Structure 1
């Protein structure tokens, strides 16, 4: 998991009770909202698209070393359940050990990618998935280095809207044509 000192932690992160899930339903709901915002903001700042629960549990996200406080494994699971209910994460395996973080929903990524294709005259031009996420034409785009699974979800949204056609160009080369 990427770490950066430039991330601005919310005030709650320096408040020791934040690292203990509260029992009062009203307080707990506000606390989970704050945790959700923190997870999404942290992931967006560090361009994290997916996480392993074991990795997340030991990361600075759930561990404040300055306070010597960490959210328990049960607490992390409670936060993840909340994020899943809000459709901000999606587990990628049956064991629920890895999940995608949607700091932008796939339909939002889809619109950004399609807008880029229109602005750069790529309509009706086959492009590889690599060109979209790693190509020279996308280095200044927010979807540059987007994880493949998230890209595929975004392109599936465009395909459902009949604004893109997914293609198998041969071998490992998958592509898309924007229409």
Structure 2
């Protein structure tokens, strides 16, 4: 039976690229040039799927969880293939090395926070949200930002990513970290002229 390399649309609406239909994609390639191409494709696929599904965490063990939140990408039952944990660990290491993910918690290499938006992009999303919801020049807790009463693009954003976004805003004088009674907070400042 021959396999046709073609995109495939998942029930969620996410379109798997045609390379996902090729059995070699799921095998760690011995040739450095082939391995780089495959790793770059895995990286793009993982980040685009994470963005589509609003997933922030990827673990090497996700390769071994049938029916898990990553199963649609990390396996292809139509060709009876799945990525193995060591191969996924190599992809994750590449993502960390290229600033597309960060090990979280630090000092381990099996779980990462994914940067499907860079901290700078999250900073802009955060500032635009604060501005559009009337939160400039007010103090908000980190909890209020990631668990808002009305869902927002920041809902469920992991705190390490939120902290990095706030640090970007603080560097450009658009935010100030404030100690509040129940943890950390931030005051969003009106952007200086020229920003």
Pick the aligned partner of 2:143 from 126, 130, 138: 130
Q: Specify every segment of 5 or more residues in structure 2 that has no aligned partner in the other structure, as ranges.
A: 1-9, 190-195
Cα separation, 1, equivalents of 2:35 and 2:176: 44
Cα separation, 2, equivalents of 1:127 and 1:64: 44
> More deviation in 80-89 or 21-30?
21-30
Q: Output aligned runs, 1:1-179, within 5 Å.
A: 5-58=12-65, 59-60=70-71, 61-92=73-104, 93-136=106-149, 139=151, 141-172=152-183, 174-179=184-189
TM-score by length of 2: 0.80
Cα separation, 2, equivalents of 1:175 and 1:56: 36
SS in 2 for 1:27: helix
Change (3 A) 1:171 1:116: closer
Which string of whole-angstrom CA distances, capped at 9 and with x for unpartnered residues, describes residues 48-68 of structure 1? 112232124534132222222
Q: Specify every segment of 5 or more residues in structure 1 that has no aligned partner in the other structure, as ranges.
A: none
1:22: Cα distance to partner?
1.8
Cα separation, 2, equivalents of 1:75 and 1:15: 16
1:146: Cα distance to partner?
1.4
Question: May I ask how many residue pairs the two structures share in their alignment?
Answer: 174
Which string of whole-angstrom CA distances, capped at 9 and with x for unpartnered residues, describes residues 94-120 of structure 1? 122221100001111011111222233
Which string of whole-angstrom CA distances, capped at 9 and with x for unpartnered residues, describes residues 9-43 of structure 1? 11111111111122233222221111111110111
Cα separation, 1, equivalents of 2:148 and 2:29: 46
Cα separation, 1, equivalents of 2:98 and 2:41: 13
Which string of whole-angstrom CA distances, capped at 9 and with x for unpartnered residues, describes residues 135-162 of structure 1? 23x52x3222212221122112212222
TM-score by length of 1: 0.87
Cα separation, 2, equivalents of 1:79 and 1:131: 34
Cα separation, 1, equivalents of 2:12 and 2:129: 31
